[in-house]
């Protein structure tokens, strides 16, 4: 009987030691995995990174010129691809290629008749930004942006001269190529990137100002969520 007790106690001790060793090994592996992920995230600021992002624009216009023209903000889609090219651990270049919707809702007068206009413009935006990386998870960006107008949609409501006013808007000399400025920040949580931007056009929407329809420059706030590959 004493021999059986001895064998039983020996077996229990063996399983206890095995279980304890496995638990210690699992904790060590988890710690190594965590350290590896942190190290990889820190090293990302020194490596070429690319990915995609999407979100929304909240846009309006400024420097308006038109007969009693008043505008309010409009929300649209923003999304595309980005890349981060390191110039050391603190500086980099971040180009992006985005499809970006801008526009406004506004009102004014043409030929002494009032109108309301909701305009949606879709642009191919290509910002070229300098990247400042003071922290592993935080970057500040800023630079110039080239924008090409892909399409424009107008919803126009007006008075008795609606046909004439619609023709004025149809004949408007719209600028398709424009330059602007953009600045903002990126918050990087491993592979996830949260971005905020503010931008404005440096050129007006019309090439020669030959129309009575409102002349303006776009201004916008942009918020996106992205995924980084490195």
User: What are the DSSP calls for 77-123, one per residue?
Assistant: EEEEEEEEEESSSSEEEEEEEEEEEEEEEEEEEETTEEEEEEEEEEE
**Average pLDDT rounded to a whole number, residues 57-86:** 89
Do 216 and 150 reside in the same domain of the chain?
yes
**Average pLDDT rounded to a whole number, residues 78-104:** 96
**Average pLDDT rounded to a whole number, residues 2-12:** 56
When mean pLDDT is compared across 43-47, 146-150, 187-191, the lowest value belongs to 43-47
Do 190 and 103 reside in the same domain of the chain?
yes
Do 129 and 147 reside in the same domain of the chain?
yes
Q: How many CA atoms lie within 13 A of 207 on its CB side?
A: 8
Q: What is the pLDDT of residues 105-143, one digit of tens each?
A: 988 877 777 888 889 999 999 999 999 999 989 999 999
Do 58 and 40 reside in the same domain of the chain?
no
Do 113 and 32 reside in the same domain of the chain?
no
Q: Which residue has the higher pLDDT, 148 or 155?
A: 148
Give the number of domains in the chain. 2
The pLDDT value recorded for residue 214 is 76
Cite the DSSP H helix spans in 171-222: none
Do 155 and 209 reside in the same domain of the chain?
yes
Report yes or no: 107 and 125 within 8 Å, Cβ to Cβ: no
Do 18 and 89 reside in the same domain of the chain?
no
Do 89 and 148 reside in the same domain of the chain?
yes
Do 65 and 33 reside in the same domain of the chain?
no
CATH assignment of the domain containing 225 = 2.40.160.20
Do 103 and 20 reside in the same domain of the chain?
no
Do 62 and 126 reside in the same domain of the chain?
yes
Do 98 and 147 reside in the same domain of the chain?
yes
pTM, two decimal places:
0.75
Report yes or no: 60 and 219 within 8 Å, Cβ to Cβ: yes
The pLDDT value recorded for residue 23 is 54
Boundaries of domain holding 208: 46-229
Smallest CA-to-CA distance from 214 within 169, 149, 163, 154 is with 169
**Average pLDDT rounded to a whole number, residues 185-202:** 96
């Amino acid at each position: 009987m004493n021999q059986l007790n001895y064998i039983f106690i020996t077996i229990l001790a063996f399983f206890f030691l095995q279980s304890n060793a496995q638990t210690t090994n699992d904790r060590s592996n988890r710690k190594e995995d965590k350290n590896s992920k942190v190290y990889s995230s820190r090293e990302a600021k020194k490596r070429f990174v690319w990915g995609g992002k999407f979100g929304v624009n909240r846009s309006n216009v400024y420097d308006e010129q038109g007969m009693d023209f008043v505008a309010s903000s409009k929300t649209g889609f923003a999304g595309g691809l980005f890349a981060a090219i390191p110039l050391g651990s603190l500086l980099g270049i971040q180009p992006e290629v985005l499809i970006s919707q801008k526009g406004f809702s506004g009102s004014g007068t043409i030929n002494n008749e009032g109108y309301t206009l909701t305009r949606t413009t879709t642009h191919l935006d290509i910002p070229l930004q300098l990247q400042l990386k003071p922290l592993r998870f935080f970057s500040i960006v800023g630079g110039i942006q080239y924008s090409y107008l892909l399409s424009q949609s107008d919803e126009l409501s007006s008075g008795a001269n609606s046909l004439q006013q619609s023709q004025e808007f149809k004949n408007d000399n719209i600028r398709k190529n424009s330059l602007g400025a953009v600045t903002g920040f990126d918050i990087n949580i491993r592979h996830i990137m949260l971005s905020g931007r503010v931008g404005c056009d440096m050129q007006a929407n019309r090439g020669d100002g030959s129309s009575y329809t409102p002349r303006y420059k776009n201004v916008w706030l942009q918020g996106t969520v992205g995924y980084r590959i490195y």
